[in-house]
Amino acid sequence: MAKKATGKHRADVEINILESFELRSRRSVREAEEARLSRAARRQAKKLAKQDRAYFAAKQAGADQGSAAYLVPSQKRTPFYARRAVRNTVTMSIASGLFATFALPAYAYDPDIAAMSRFTTTDAEALANSEDTQNLTVAAVNTVKFARGNYKSADADEIARQETLNSYRTYSGPTAADYLANPPYSKLDGTSILKVAANYVGTPYVFGGDTPRGFDCSGYVAFVFAQFGVAMPHSVHGQARLGIPIRAEDAMPGDLVIMNDMSHDGIYAGNGNFYHAPRPGDSVKLAPIYTSQVHYIRLMTN
């Protein structure tokens, strides 16, 4: 039977056991740490290897592209028939042949055809001098080129307006000033005023017009009253200040009809109608007074 350790020897054994346990513990810890470090190292190595592969791949690609700039492309061999000199020679030969063909004299007849046509010879000079041959000399050929112009469709209203203006500009008859110098009517009365006003029905409207070839509203009124020796300005405002304002129920034929905004005027004809030159595109007419915003001016003396 083994003796149980006692005393110092026993203590030494216990110390050895503790040291062995501590050594094993330390070794386990160290091995575990080395294993952990080994796994981390492997991961880091894999990461670095991946980065290296990417780097060298990019570098290789750049090197390939850079080297491509120094590559001399192979020269494509041009076939013989496609060479410039050969093409030019063939082209000129064909052109010369075509030119020579077109330049052949028109009198190069086949003998059989000439005989059928009752030509006794195919000689050009003899044929040209023959009395039975009709000679035709073409001195020049004129080519007429027709180009489509840029035209706009004509507007009927615009054509009518231009014709009216041309007619107005060529008027040579008596003017309002002529009538004022020698008025044909000595008495200013409604019947005579309406008679003169009616003479110009159908006269086209012309802005600023004051002759029977074209009137605007105030020009028409001034021209009518000029024949009675009444001088009136060519203006609605000026004509409105010449007479005496009267009430609508007291208005009589021959009075002036003035729009309240001074935009238009005419000659009252009775029964709510008046003679006036309405607007562009229209003409002098007898028409109903189209608004109640009017007032009346009397010029005549009863």
- Show which residues are catalytic: 217, 264, 276
- Where residue 245 falls (left for φ over 0; alpha for ψ -120 to 50; beta otherwise) is beta
Structural tokens at position 173: 């008859």
- Cα–chain center distance at 198: 49
Structural tokens at position 216: 């605007």
Structural tokens at position 143: 């080519």
